[in-house]
Amino acid sequence: MCSCSPALVKLSRRATVWKIFSRRSAISILLILPAIASILALYIYEKPMVPPPHKKGAKTNMIKTRSIAPPLFIVALLTLLIQAPVFAGIYKWVDKGGQVHYSDLPRVENAEEVNIRTNETTQTRKIPLKSEEEIAAEEKRKKEAEAKKAQKPKIPASEKRRLCKQARHELEVINSRGRLREINAKGEYIYLPEEERQKRISRAKKDIRKYCR
């Protein structure tokens, strides 16, 4: 399968569809045309109307009908001629600037006909079934990976006691003061908003639950 641009592939698909349609149309016309010609030859060509024999002396009236078989043949022939360029396929040529062009009709005399094959079929790949042992081993690996991910490094008992004491002290200080204040980079005292105060209370309580057990 060649690597072609989407526009070229689309043009090739359109030409392929037109080829199939035109071939079927031409075959249908070629199959039906002899039957039509035979019927017209029997019933539509010039046919004399002879009066009944018991009428003596009557003149024979020749009623001529116009044949429509030749016009039908001309229409069929023109249809085939109109559809003939469709069988041309895809043409390729290079202009004066060196740029390559593709078209379903030959635009220049030195156009080269090319055949483009597009991969229209979708191949399905069969996935081999896993055995029970493989499934069990895969599940075991997943559980071990999840357990390892969930494991956290254990904190020494002395460190936990220190963090617990620090959290309790911080909560006690916050509750004992109405407003919190800190020293900024300029060495000035600034008061923290109530929202920040509530955040620090929640954080201290969380640390107490975590380390004071």
Of 9-23, 101-115, 191-205, the range with the lowest mean pLDDT is 9-23
Asked if 189 and 181 touch (Cβ cutoff 8 Å), the reply is: yes
Residue with the bigger pLDDT between 205 and 150: it is 205
Q: How far apart are CA 91 and CA 125, in angstroms?
A: 35
Chain-centre distance for alpha carbon 46: 61
Q: What is the number of other CB atoms lying within 10 angstroms of the CB of residue 105?
A: 12
Of 70-74, 113-117, 131-135, the poorest mean pLDDT is in 70-74
How would residue 33 be classed by pLDDT, with cut points 50, 70 and 90? Answer: low
pLDDT confidence bin for 96, thresholds 50/70/90: confident
pLDDT of residue 163: 94
Report the alpha-carbon distance of residue 172 to residue 168 in Å, rounded. 6
State the DSSP H helix or E strand holding residue 91, giving kind and residue range, or none if neither: strand 90-94
Mean pLDDT of all residues in 105-134: 64
Q: Which residues of 35-74 are buried (b: 16+ CB within 10 A; e: fewer)?
A: ebeeebeeeeeeeeeeeeeeeeeeeeeeeeeeeeeeeeee
Q: How confident is the model at residue 94 (pLDDT cuts 50, 70, 90)?
A: confident
Residue with the larger pLDDT of the pair 150 and 203: 203
Q: How many residues does the chain have?
A: 213
Q: What is the mean pLDDT of the chain?
A: 70
Tell me the average pLDDT across 179-193.
88
176-205 average pLDDT score: 89
| pLDDT of res. 207 | 94
pLDDT-derived band of residue 1, with 50, 70 and 90 as boundaries?
very low
Judge whether residue 45 has pLDDT over 50: no
Residue 200 has what pLDDT? 92
Interior CA angle at 182 toward 181 and 184, to 5°? 140
Model pTM score: 0.30
pLDDT, average across residues 127-155:
81
Q: Tokens for 27?
A: 């075959």
Q: Please state the rounded mean pLDDT for residues 103-121.
A: 62
